[in-house]
Amino acid sequence: MKVLVVGSMAYDSVETWAGKADRALGGSATYFSLASSLFTPTEVVAVVGEDFRDSDLERLRAHDVGLTGVQQVAGETFRWGGRYSRYFETRETLFTELNVFSSFDPEVPAELRDAEVVFLANIHPRLQLSVLEQVTAPKFVALDTMNFWISGELNHLKAVLAKVDLLLLNDEEAFGLSGSGNMIQAAAAIRDMGPKAVVIKRGEHGAWLFTEDSAGLVPAVPLPEVIDPTGAGDTFAGGFIGYLARRGRFDTESMREAMVSGTLAASYCVEDFSVDRLETVTLADLQTRHATLQQVVGTLDANF
């Protein structure tokens, strides 16, 4: 099944212990589509400015990412700058320049409106809703969001939540949205808002999938060194949704497999700045690291 993602394409300036990347390719739709396209045809709806480099569009095309829905308009591309502490305990935003993103009005090209799987990356919930109204009959819709919308646009967010199958968010966001600091309580409260499934991302601690009848953890791959965690969440989503779309089934078992796929994709994303490692990842890489991940947990055997 074809995947349609709406989100940002951006130029990021990032500082970590390992160095700096300036005006490096980033954005939720970028990370997402590079991961998703490992598994299935992926189409992007986004906006970029006049300064957006052809060579960066080429990097996406090299992965067969569809760019029909990417508008290039007058003005500058969305820019974000951030600095992480040594071990990524904290992140400081240095600047956010919305630029052409501030007047983004996502338009789904006619030939993409029959998309079967849709990922609404973290943008204003009003825009997420607008995209949903343009696609004709999606089989599976997943949503990301952030604290900014949870605290500032809760009504709009709840309107979208009522219409999606899956919400992916991190633990702080889940606690903020649900009003509970207990993960199980939070997932139950969020499922009551509409989505049948909730994925709660916990960074290096892994990610949890909650459905009607199950709560499942996929641990993160333990890494001896992280270079830049920017985009890991969107890469997780891309590995998850792309896998699910290729499989073409949306039951709990398939989603648990998709969690593994998202986890492995994200583990490569953080090994370099920007998409520098992610864009060279192959399915063979995922296979290799899959074995590592399974060994980390093993069988959890014991005899009582």
Q: Tell me the residue type at 72.
A: Q
Count of alpha carbons within 13 Å of 127, Cβ hemisphere only? 24
Distance CA 105, CA 126 (A): 10
Q: Which strand ranges, in their side-by-side order, compose the sheet holding 3-6?
A: 65-72, 42-48, 3-6, 117-120, 140-144, 166-170, 197-201, 207-211, 214-218
Q: Which of 94, 113, 223, 251 binds its own copies (CB under 8 A)?
A: 223
Indicate the residue among 193 and 215 with the shorter CB distance to its own copies: 215
Residue 86 within binding range of its own copies, rule CB under 8 A: yes
Smallest distance from the beta carbon of 260 to its own copies, in angstroms?
A: 4
Report the chain's terminal Cα–Cα distance, integer Å.
46
Q: Which of 54, 89, 105, 212 binds its own copies (CB under 8 A)?
A: 89
Distance CA 67, CA 37 (A): 12
Residue spans of alpha helices (H) in the chain: 28-36, 54-61, 125-134, 147-152, 154-161, 171-178, 183-191, 232-247, 252-269, 283-297
Indicate the residue among 48 and 265 with the shorter CB distance to its own copies: 265
Q: Residue 152's closest CA among 182, 173, 132, 183?
A: 173
Residues 151 to 170 in contact with its own copies, rule: CB under 8 A = none
Smallest distance from the beta carbon of 68 to its own copies, in angstroms?
A: 28
Smallest distance from the beta carbon of 158 to its own copies, in angstroms?
A: 23
Residue 296 within binding range of its own copies, rule CB under 8 A: yes
Using the rule CB under 8 A, give the single segment among 40-48, 124-132, 134-142, 179-187 that binds its own copies. 179-187
Contact string 37-76 vs its own copies (x = CB under 8 A): ----------------------------------------
Q: Which of 55, 90, 155, 295 binds its own copies (CB under 8 A)?
A: 295
Q: Residue 116's closest CA among 238, 254, 210, 242?
A: 242
Residue 94 within binding range of its own copies, rule CB under 8 A: no
Size of the site for its own copies (CB under 8 A): 49
Distance CA 148, CA 152 (A): 6
Residue 290 within binding range of its own copies, rule CB under 8 A: yes
Q: Where does residue 300 fall: left (phi above 0), alpha (psi -120 to 50 degrees), or beta otherwise?
A: left
Contact string 249-288 vs its own copies (x = CB under 8 A): -------xxx-xx---------------------xx-xx-
**DSSP 8-state secondary structure symbol assigned to residue 123:** S
Q: Which of 95, 155, 212, 298 binds its own copies (CB under 8 A)?
A: 298
The residue ranges that bind its own copies (CB under 8 A) are: 86-87, 89, 175, 180-185, 202, 204-206, 208, 214-219, 222-226, 243, 256-258, 260-261, 283-284, 286-287, 290, 293-304
